């Protein structure tokens, strides 16, 4: 055998061992797989197996501590709360068989349907009371969601003025939960579909101790699927939960998720039939644009520039406005990114949030601070004169990902070309460090991202109130704070929507507090045989409950 031939054979064997070691398998299945499903070699039965990937491992499946998209996806499919999102992204009753409100809508009473944990124990009202109070007791990363939901005493507990045991939730009996709110809250039902509001079995959690939810055997299921295998940093497997109350409507028998951190590796696995869906980076889009499985998805996440409002020059609203106006967003999305991202001139994206009469929020509020480079230059020079400067050198804090580096280099060229005397230095750091720099407000400008927690414009708007953990730039306008508080308790939905429009106008029209850049898009390869895979714009991204393989 020739040397090159022998070397190629060795490489092929090694690659085969690696792939088999990661347990990759096509959702079409092999002959043995079909026999396990009750079929024969010659039958036409399609294995109801979905193989997908995740870009990282699951940090934890403790719903009181989970704070990332990967964990939320798993929790949404192995657990279920009072409500869950439907195919239209609306929050609908799940374990709540009945829901009653008192006259002023401050007391909500839920009756649970018959449901089981995967250890055979019933899901009870006490499981909800325990889990929600534990969110506050453990100071979970999403404990503020209970404040947003308006649950009685949640804010006082968050401020350490009361104990977690005083949270406004009470198990009346095994099947009845009573939740008391500070005031009527139009977001309450919407938020109940969020993973932070899931129940937990107290006995099981306490038996597991600090190992709870860190391995497949350390978590219970009460949802459409059960987690049966979790190999850290490699993969996890979910199988249909036959004891789920709505199991007859769950078609998939198995969902395999493989951790694939390198985008090009994901594309290779798709090509070889090992996974059924993959997200492409901009570098791969031209290569696959003509593929029959290729599509572009509009996303609800946004990318924008933060300004340090304590900065001697950047605290001037017209300086900020000029910077936002000087950027060619179409060039950024269509030439640099090419992934379906679209220019954005507001903080609430288009095509996801609609008024009571079904008009798009973005269409209703229009574009803010949109202009030509020439118009930006006029605003810039006038503002520089107002602050007594002839030039400005600032730094841009970014995460060291390929996407953010490309965007930053484009911004640098745009701003230095279009604004006389402007100089931008780029400082790339790991994502987690970028967040810490923002929290400390130790930056001039920061290239930031935001994804919605729930399906309502408020998830993009109340982050700008004074003291919000998401503000991270010392911006404060008392009018905005007041309007947010009013909107939180306004039950007339038409009036509330006008308030939501007004909050963004204060933020951008009056203050130019941030500079929105683009609404994210995703370039996707997904096999045509995958049907009814629900992808939500907020909260947990994927719902496998209705999906099936054709």
Q: Which CATH class is domain 298-521?
A: alpha beta
**Residues found in the chain:** 550
Sequence spans of domains, the chain = 298-521
> For 140-144, 220-224, 234-238, which range has the lowest pLDDT when averaged over its residues?
140-144
Q: State how far the Cα of 157 lies from the Cα of 509, in Å rounded to an integer.
A: 35
Return the pLDDT at 460: 97
pTM, to two decimals: 0.81
Instruction: Tell me the sheet residues that pair with 278.
Output: 525
∠ CA 18-19-23, rounded to 5°: 115
pLDDT (tens digit, 9 = 90+) per residue, 241-292? 999 999 999 999 999 999 998 878 999 999 999 999 999 988 899 899 999 9
Taking alpha carbons only, the member of 370, 393, 376 closest to residue 326 is: 376
Return the pLDDT at 17: 39
- 3-state secondary structure string across 311-348: CCCCCCHHHHHHHHHCCCHHHHHHHHHCCCCEECCCCC
Taking alpha carbons only, the member of 222, 213, 202 closest to residue 126 is: 202
Segment 401-409 mean pLDDT: 92
Which two tokens mark 38? 């009750």
pLDDT (tens digit, 9 = 90+) per residue, 280-338? 988 899 899 999 999 999 999 999 999 999 999 999 999 999 999 999 999 999 999 99
Return the pLDDT at 44: 63
Residue 36 has pLDDT above 90, yes or no: no
User: Do residues 210 and 232 lie in contact, with contact meaning Cβ atoms separated by under 8 Å?
Assistant: no
Q: State how far the Cα of 97 lies from the Cα of 327, in Å rounded to an integer.
A: 51
pLDDT band at 21 (very low <50, low <70, confident <90, very high): very low
Please enumerate in sequence order all residues whose Cβ is within 8 A of that of 134, keeping only pairs 6 or more positions apart, or say none. Answer: 64, 140, 164, 200, 205
Which two tokens mark 333? 């999305």
User: Do residues 17 and 11 lie in contact, with contact meaning Cβ atoms separated by under 8 Å?
Assistant: no
Q: Greatest CA span in the chain, whole angstroms? A: 85
Segment 41-68 mean pLDDT: 86
Query: CA Rg, the chain, in Å?
Result: 25
């Amino acid at each position: 055998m020739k040397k090159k031939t022998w070397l190629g054979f060795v490489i092929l064997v090694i690659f085969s061992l690696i792939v088999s070691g990661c347990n990759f398998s096509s959702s079409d299945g092999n002959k043995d797989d079909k026999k396990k499903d009750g079929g024969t070699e010659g039958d036409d039965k399609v294995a109801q197996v979905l193989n997908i990937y995740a870009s990282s491992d699951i940090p934890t499946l403790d719903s009181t501590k989970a704070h990332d998209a990967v964990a939320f996806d798993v929790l949404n499919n192995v657990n279920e709360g009072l409500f869950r999102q439907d195919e239209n992204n609306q929050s609908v009753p799940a374990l709540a068989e009945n829901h009653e409100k008192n006259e002023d809508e401050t007391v909500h009473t839920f009756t649970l349907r018959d449901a089981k944990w995967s250890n055979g124990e019933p899901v009870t009202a006490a499981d909800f009371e325990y889990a929600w109070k534990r969110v506050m007791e453990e100071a979970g990363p999403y404990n503020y969601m209970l404040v947003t939901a308006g649950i009685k005493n949640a804010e006082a507990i968050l401020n350490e003025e009361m104990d977690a045991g005083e949270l406004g939730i009470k198990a009346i009996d095994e099947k009845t939960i009573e939740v008391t709110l500070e005031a009527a809250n139009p977001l309450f039902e919407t938020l109940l579909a969020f993973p932070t509001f899931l129940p937990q079995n107290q006995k099981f959690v306490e038996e597991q101790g600090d190992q709870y939810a860190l391995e497949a055997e350390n978590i219970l299921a009460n949802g459409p699927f059960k987690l049966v295998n979790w190999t850290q940093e490699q993969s996890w497997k979910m199988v249909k939960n036959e004891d789920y109350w709505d199991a007859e409507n769950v078609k998939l028998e198995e969902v395999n998720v493989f951790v694939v951190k390198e985008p090009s590796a994901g594309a290779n696995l798709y090509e070889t039939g090992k996974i059924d869906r993959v997200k492409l980076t901009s570098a791969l889009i031209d290569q696959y644009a003509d593929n029959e499985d290729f599509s572009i998805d509009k996303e609800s996440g946004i990318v924008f520039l933060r300004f340090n409002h304590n900065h001697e020059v950047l605290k001037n609203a017209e300086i900020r406005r000029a910077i936002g106006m000087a950027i060619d967003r179409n060039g950024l999305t269509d030439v640099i990114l090419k992934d379906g991202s679209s220019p954005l001139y507001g903080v609430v994206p288009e095509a996801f949030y609609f008024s009571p009469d079904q008009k798009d929020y973005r269409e209703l509020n229009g574009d803010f601070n949109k202009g030509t480079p020439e118009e930006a230059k006029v605003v810039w020079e006038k503002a520089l004169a107002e602050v007594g400067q002839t030039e400005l050198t600032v730094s841009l804090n970014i995460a060291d990902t390929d996407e953010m580096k490309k965007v930053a280099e484009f911004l640098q060229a745009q701003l230095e070309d279009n604004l006389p005397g402007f100089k931008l230095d780029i400082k790339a750091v790991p994502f987690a460090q970028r967040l810490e720099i923002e929290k400390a407000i130790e930056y001039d400008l920061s290239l930031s991202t935001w994804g919605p927690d729930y399906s309502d414009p408020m998830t993009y708007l109340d982050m700008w109130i004074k003291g919000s953990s998401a503000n991270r730039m010392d911006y404060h306008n008392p009018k905005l704070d007041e309007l947010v508080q009013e909107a939180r308790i306004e039950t007339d939905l038409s009036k509330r929507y006008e308030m939501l429009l007004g909050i963004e106008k204060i933020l951008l029209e009056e203050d130019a507090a941030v500079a929105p850049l683009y609404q994210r898009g995703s370039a996707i390869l997904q096999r045509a045989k995958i049907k009814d895979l629900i992808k939500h714009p907020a909260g947990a991204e994927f719902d496998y409950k209705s999906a099936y393989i054709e």
